[in-house]
Structures are given as structure tokens and as C-alpha cells.
Amino acid sequence: MRRVAIVGVGNMGGAIAQRILDQRWPVQVFDIDPAKMAALKALGATPRDDAAQAAIGCGVLIVCVVDAAQTEEVLFGPKGAAQVMRAGQAVLLCPTISPTDVEGFARRLGELGVSAIDAPMSGGPARARDGSMSLMVACDDAAFERQRAVIEIMSNKVFRVGSKPGDGARTKLVNNLLAGINLAGAAEAMAMARRMGLDLARTLDVIEQSSGQSWIATDRMRRAIAGDYEPRAHVTLLQKDTRLAVEAARQAGFEGPLGPAAHALFARAADAGFADLDDAALFRLLSQ
């Protein structure tokens, strides 16, 4: 059962597929974009017509779509994988979705004897490609051990955050809320530096070696000051993730000041026409 299915082979899913293909594991893929499947076919993957066809004969299905609605379609839609999956197979839930949705998917899969592994990811396509992204895994020990080999191919930074599906999603939302806050702060600081007439590249050099440093600031602001807004992570992704994080915080009885402000800024960027740009476009928004 070394055969792996991946549904959603965009930036992250495509990089994961290449990583697994490098290890000479058979990979079956499905995506609504035929060009993405064709590119992976050239590397040895087998394209399938839908999620159900992709899941047949695979030990694990890796779901790498955007949100809960797409995950629902992949698993339980008219051509969803759940209708063909059998006891002993597993599903890795990699999208950033609400803990409640993860718990619901896990319960429904469990009724079929299919293990649900809550495994949101972080790090971007380059780190997914070289196996250095982080995976926040929550599932029972038996399911983890059965899929340990493929999980450790996907990432050399695997964090077992709990045994209950949903806790991976909670951890990811905490992380992504901080990422959103850090990115919003970096964009504001660099827009301020621009208005002050500072050399932006040199200012970023200073920040990267000083107390203001953050990974997302370096990654996004280098591109932003070069005018590169080609999407690696669309504005809409952190707009969604910060919204989910704020909602999860409220459900837990917590209300912070910065999360809602960061979410409002991503929403403002989307409304300003930047939804399909890289989330580095916050700098462009704040520089106007």
C-alpha cells in the first residue's frame, strides 16, 4: 500500500507530489486543472479523472485543497473518495480549516473504518518540495505508525501535537494568526520606511539582523520591494486563515486585539482588488 493519492496538486500539493515521486513511490493525482496533472504526469505521476478514482488502491489519500467546502467535495461529493475507500486506508487532511470541520470529517471517515490524520502544513511550496515544511499532526498512534513512512517523506519537521483530530487545526490556526500579524506588521513597517525615504533593501537588511526579524517578513517583503506579486500564497488564504483563527479564539472564549486587526487588513486588501495577488501585496496596499 505504498501507492499515494493526492487531490489538489497546486503549489503545495504539487510540491508534495514531486517530493514523494523522488522517493519512487507510485503517486495518483487529481486536480480540477488538467495542466497541473499533465506536469506531474511528465514526472511519473498517474492522473485520475476524479477524487474517487485517485483513491482506489492507495494506502493514503492526501487532501491538499483550499478550504472545508472543497474538502467536503473531495471526500463526500458525487465523485468523492469516501465512496471507494475501505477500512485500513487513511486520509491526511492538510488544508487549513476549522477544528470543527476536521472533527466532522474525522468522525464520518471513522464510520467507514478510514483513519483521519489531521495534518495541516506550513512553510510554502519550496519547503514542501525539499521536505522541510512543518506538519502539525493529530491522530491516534496506530494511524500515525501505519503512515509514518509517507509522513516522514513529506516533512522532516513533524510535530505530534495530539491524538485527537482537530488539535492539528487548532495549532495551525495559532501559527497562521501569528504569521498574519507578523506579515501585516512587516508591510506596515516597510510602507513607513518608504514614506520616510529610506532605502528599502537596506532597511530590510537591518530588520533581518535585528529584533524586528521574522521569517514571513523576509520572505514576503523581499518580493514586495522588488514589485513581485506573483502569487505563491494568495491574499485570500491568510484572509481565510485569520478569519478562522479569530473565530476559533472566540469559541474558546479569547478575544485578542491584533488578530481581528490583521484579518481586517487582509480583507481590505482583497476588497481593493488584490485577492489574487501574493499576500506580499499588503505592502502595496499600505504604500498607496
Do residues 91 and 182 share a domain? no
pLDDT value of position 30: 98
All three cell numbers of 287, joined, read 504604500
Domain endpoint, select from 163, 182, 211: 163
- Count the helices and strands in the chain (H runs, E runs): 14, 9
Q: Between the CA of residue 29 and those of 26, 86, 257, what are the distances in Å? A: 10, 19, 42
Q: What is the CATH number of the domain that holds 95?
A: 3.40.50.720
Do residues 149 and 240 share a domain? no
Q: Residues 6 or more apart from 268 whose CB is under 8 A from it?
A: 285
pTM for the model: 0.92
Domain endpoint, select from 163, 192, 208: 163
Task: Report yes or no: 126 and 36 within 8 Å, Cβ to Cβ.
Answer: no
b (16+ CB within 10 A) / e for 260-269 = bebbebbbeb
Distance, CA of 89 to chain centre: 22
Do residues 82 and 182 share a domain? no
pLDDT value of position 21: 98
Do residues 13 and 155 share a domain? yes
Tens of each residue's pLDDT in the chain, 288 residues: 689 999 999 999 999 999 999 999 999 999 999 999 999 999 999 999 999 999 999 999 999 999 999 999 999 999 999 999 999 999 999 999 999 999 999 999 999 999 999 999 998 899 999 999 999 999 999 999 999 999 999 999 999 999 999 999 999 999 999 999 999 999 999 999 999 999 999 999 999 999 999 999 999 999 999 999 999 899 999 999 999 999 999 999 999 999 999 999 999 999 999 999 999 999 999 999
Domain endpoint, select from 163, 188, 209: 163
When divided into structural domains, the chain yields a total of: 2
Encoded amino acid at 119, one letter: A
Do residues 157 and 59 share a domain? yes
Do residues 158 and 192 share a domain? no
pLDDT value of position 1: 60
pLDDT value of position 286: 98
Q: Residues 6 or more apart from 253 whose CB is under 8 A from it?
A: none
- Residue 80 CA neighbour count, 13 Å, CB half: 17
Unique residue bearing C-alpha cell 495541516: 120
Which residues span the domain enclosing 107? 4-163
Do residues 201 and 71 share a domain? no
Do residues 55 and 188 share a domain? no
Do residues 184 and 155 share a domain? no
Q: Between the CA of residue 214 and those of 204, 217, 221, what are the distances in Å? A: 11, 5, 11
Do residues 11 and 87 share a domain? yes
Do residues 26 and 126 share a domain? yes
Tell me, yes or no, if 172 is annotated catalytic.
yes
- Residue 226 CA neighbour count, 13 Å, CB half: 10
What SS3 class is residue 28? strand
Helix axes 99-110, 167-195, angle to 10 degrees: 150
Task: Catalytic residue, from 157, 164, 172, 240: name it.
Answer: 172
Do residues 152 and 12 share a domain? yes
